[in-house]
Amino acid sequence: MKISQNPSEMQTKYLQLKDINGMESKEKRRQEKIETKAEDENERKKVVVDVGCGTGILSVFCAQAGAKRVYAVDASEIALQASEVVKTNKLADTIIVLHGRVEDVEIDEEVDVIISEWMGYMLLYESMLGSVITARDRWLKPGGLILPSNATLYMAPVTHPDRYSDSIDFWRNVYGIDMSAMLPLAKQCAFEEPSVETITGENVLTWPHVVKHVDCYTITVLELQSISTRFKFQSMMRAPFHGFAFWFDVEFSGLEIFSASNDAPLAIESLNNHATDGSKRKKRANPSEALVLSTAPEDPPTHWQQGPFVVWSHLTFFSPILFARVLTQSNTLIYFYDPIEVEQDQVIEGSVILSQSKENARFMNIHLEYASGGRSFVKESVMR
């Protein structure tokens, strides 16, 4: 299924999926809100660029904290609404909204801070990281700050019997009627289309594997063109294996470098009121510790959720990815929708390649190879 190219529909989806203020007010857990503070007037007068500003909420936070100037950049029509938000909050003297791509707009000065909510589902799908890199190379002054500073993408096999039962087993007996003839169609309807789901640590069969670590200060656009890794898991339990889940962490580090300097740009603080006792990473014991926003299964939900890559498989196949929005299959595939039973300590190994689509840099090609119990599988998909 392709995402509509109709501008009004695209704008609606953008607001639904990318706008921090609108999305997170509807969730039990708000994404860690980025705010700024400084110790004196000299530290407050810094220049910030907000890449992919959306409604401009992060730009407003920066301006309220005392930024000298904020450049809010967005290529979509949402920039027009951001301008209205700026005017409504009487910040037009501080925030300059630039409607255009980071690659095309002009800023005639170096900036102290780059801030961006660039992460997409599965971290890199439709992400703005390439634009952040461009902004860094064009405008960030030496020693400047990028928020977030680092990100890590993880993957792990998962089991999800409740979802399978709710979607499939229901048809075996409907009010005493044998509806099992519906099972093939039910599996197709339930698992052919991608889906974004919230899962918990109980769904995860193994320790996670790091697919990619991103250092926003050093990563290049060329590196984003293709990311590959080999994985080897060992199941910690006997369970039906339903697929792979992908999730990510982002870190806000490097703040201690600036807090010790009179030239300190804007620092940030986490309003993580919902951190569990086990989520100690989210609270800093001292300024040298990074703040962490995690979408891991064991952490409270965020609007990114987790993206299971479902493998409702039996022979040679891999079925759709459940990351962001919807995904288009690059080929006509034969899907097998039955889970694979794995034993405790059974090895699951293979490789995954994530590459930018030549059709559109925001799209992602996924090539996944997997083997376990003497059987092997291959899945290729294009996320559009």
Report, as residue numbers or ranges, the catalytic residues. Answer: 117, 126
Task: Show the tokens assigned to 149.
Answer: 């500073």
How big is the chain, counted in residues?
Answer: 384
Q: How far, in Å, CA of 234 to CA of 123, rounded? A: 25
Burial class from Cβ neighbours inside 10 Å (0-12, 13-18, 19+) for residue 183 reads middle
Q: How far is CA 252 from the centre of its chain?
A: 15
SS3 state at 335: coil
Beta strand 239-241 with 209-215 is unpaired
Contact between 113 and 90 under an 8 Å Cβ cutoff? The reply is no
Q: How far, in Å, CA of 47 to CA of 111, rounded? A: 5
SS3 state at 107: coil
In Å, what is the CA distance from 214 to each residue of 13, 221, 321?
A: 27, 11, 22
Q: Widest CA span of the chain, in angstroms?
A: 75
In Å, what is the CA distance from 372 to each residue of 196, 231, 314?
A: 25, 12, 11
Q: How far, in Å, CA of 378 to CA of 365, rounded? A: 13
Contact between 229 and 352 under an 8 Å Cβ cutoff? The reply is yes
Q: How far, in Å, CA of 181 to CA of 178, rounded? A: 8
Pick the closest to residue 267 from 73, 55, 94, 40 (CA basis). 40
Main-chain phi, psi angles of 287, to 5 degrees: -60, -20
